[in-house]
Structure 1
């Protein structure tokens, strides 16, 4: 392990939950009783490492922190079966983790697929959430009839182009092996400097696979250069499991393995009463801000919407601005809890 990763993960703990799954996570108790626990949930292709700026910021301010490598990532188990990544199952595992730490409630913060995970917690274990903050991706209500092509068609009718077509590539059995072989090409577009490339070379059907197999590259964002890129490469090296396990987050939904759980959950779904923050990224051409607002608003009673002039990886591109918005929201939540 590189010195950067070794230093970052030094305070982390690894534990096997009663259900049998092993998770690696950071656990820091609050400095004072009034400070809540913050549960940070990363996205794809990431790890707890992507929250490093937030960990440093909120650790210094006395908040409790729980920051796991989610299933398929980092030092957490990486099952090969997509069914292991059912949202209801993973939500139950996070609750097991909270129970093992004797933590009753948290403020959940998600980014990208971490927002889907946060939505899963809200749908299946809402009583464990004091509040929720969604970064870049909005809340997802239960979708018992999910179909990728239907969703893409609905969004295309609003924004004028297909945005989730690349899910088809990630759904292929050998997607992980292809990405492992052409990781330099793949990462260049995932972390590209020009956010408009996502509209032309990621969103439409087939184009991300073509980009990757043709070994195309483009300049990466400045914040990804150097150590962050080296750490990412190490986290997803074939020796550490590669990208295959992480693509199961796409496979489980695209193959409709969540639909039965979603149908059951939909029977008791209700509007979210807890405070919710949605921070959209104005330059994200995949997770388009207007869509994220539209899917979140109907399901929340206490919603605050903010926007940053950033692309998809807003907590990495603009960490100070992200932290300021989060801290303001957390302070509002604390104030409401003391009323």
Structure 2
């Protein structure tokens, strides 16, 4: 894995410190637009290594932060510090510090949520939005885990959100921390049949961890895996799992609804959007990416949807060539 230049910056009214990868064109490379990458769970900025090197080599400014609770960034325990408006204020602080008025945004998993809110609160700061694996997240929506679980169970045959309840619980930090390699081995398992059986359903992830099962069939290269393990051994799993508590407790809902009513959030997407998904598997609903994005587009022509030729939750890792090509096409169509 390449070693990328990093910066540390205190931002926002909460004074959170962010560690982030920052690469800008040199005098020998052409200067192009900036791209910001938001990682998901459980990851750090380096999970984007295949995209960071590719786009930096093309001459783009590349920013990839360790999000709050991860890597070298602040790890507050108070769940209230992870609210959407706080996260957006922090990210805008990084963009301002780097002199980036407008960027292309790319988000995976939980990073798709951060990208959504960055657009909602600051639509003028984004040229485009790219969502991987998880679609756009609308603001002010009540997240009913039980209701969503019932819908998923009807269509895929099991309760897929058992893992979310565990991660939002007070038990998850200790259990994950005590069995870190076991946790990463199932979170990044390359076989979606194994993940569908041992990661998602209620109680299965806890059982995997308590048995301290370690499977080496991962989507990650050994260097990627060791980098993640090294980072998370120095981490804090209360902080890293706080996003799930925030969601389970719907702590964003009331403020976001008020901000929508006050006209402080954009609720219609008016910039080009790229949705990237993997091939359907036992845990997925076919067409969910396109459906999750298209209903919020100001014009359906703004949406482009790509399915990469592999299964799994990490298309940017497993199918990096295809993902990079799709993002490049979107960016160049806008920058031209």
Q: Return the TM-score normalized by structure 1.
A: 0.90
Secondary structure of the structure 1 residue equivalent to 2:241:
helix
The 8 Å contact of residues 287 and 312 in structure 1, kept in 2 or not, is answered as no
Q: 1:23 aligns with which of 18, 22, 29?
A: 18
Answer whether contact 1:26 1:67 (CA < 8 A) is retained: yes
Find out whether 1:333 has 2:330 as its counterpart: no
Whole-Å separation in 2 of the counterparts to 1:296 and 1:18: 29
Alpha-carbon RMSD across the aligned residues, in angstroms, is 1.9
Conserved? CA contact 1:282–1:288, under 8 Å: no
Partner SS state of residue 236, structure 1: helix
User: Once the 2 structures are TM-superposed, how far is the Cα of residue 141 of structure 1 from its aligned partner?
Assistant: 0.8
Which of 226, 231, 234 aligns to 2:227? It is: 231
Shift of 1:159: 3.1
Match of 2:35 among 38, 42, 49: 38
Identify the range of structure 1 (13-22 vs 70-79) with the bigger mean alpha-carbon deviation: 13-22
Aligned counterpart for 1:161 among listed residues 158, 161, 182: 158
Unpaired runs of 5+ residues, structure 2, are none
2:3 matches 1:8: yes
* 1:92-136 residue CA offsets vs partner (Å, 9 max, x unmatched): 110111112221111000111111111111222222111111111
Secondary structure at the counterpart of residue 74 of structure 1: coil
1:144·1:260 contact (CA, 8 Å) conserved in 2? no
The Cα shift of 1:265 comes to: 4.1
1:197: Cα distance to partner?
Answer: 2.0
> What is the aligned partner in structure 2 of residue 67 from structure 1?
64
Structure 2 residue 322 is matched with structure 1 residue 321 = yes
SS state of the match for residue 251, structure 1? helix
State the partner residue of 2:191: 194
The correspondence of residues 1-339 of structure 1 with structure 2, limited to 5 A, is: 8-9=3-4, 11-19=5-13, 20-30=15-25, 32=30, 35-221=32-218, 223-237=219-233, 240-267=234-261, 268=263, 269-283=266-280, 285-286=282-283, 288-300=285-297, 301=299, 302-310=302-310, 311-335=312-336
Do the aligned partners of residues 283 and 197 (structure 1) sit closer, same or farther apart at CA in structure 2, a change above 3 Å counting? farther
Q: 1:285 to 1:293 in 2, by over 3 A?
A: farther
Which range moved further: 176-185 or 212-221? 212-221
1:80 to partner: Cα distance:
1.1
How far residue 146 of structure 1 moved from its aligned partner, in angstroms, is 1.6
Deviation at 1:26, TM superposition (A): 2.3
Q: CA deviation at 1:193?
A: 2.4
Q: 1:18 to 1:251 in 2, by over 3 A?
A: closer
Segments ≥4 residues shifted beyond 6 Å? none
Q: How many residues align?
A: 325
Bigger mean CA offset, 278-287 vs 90-99:
278-287
Tell me, which stretches of 5 or more residues in structure 1 are unaligned? none
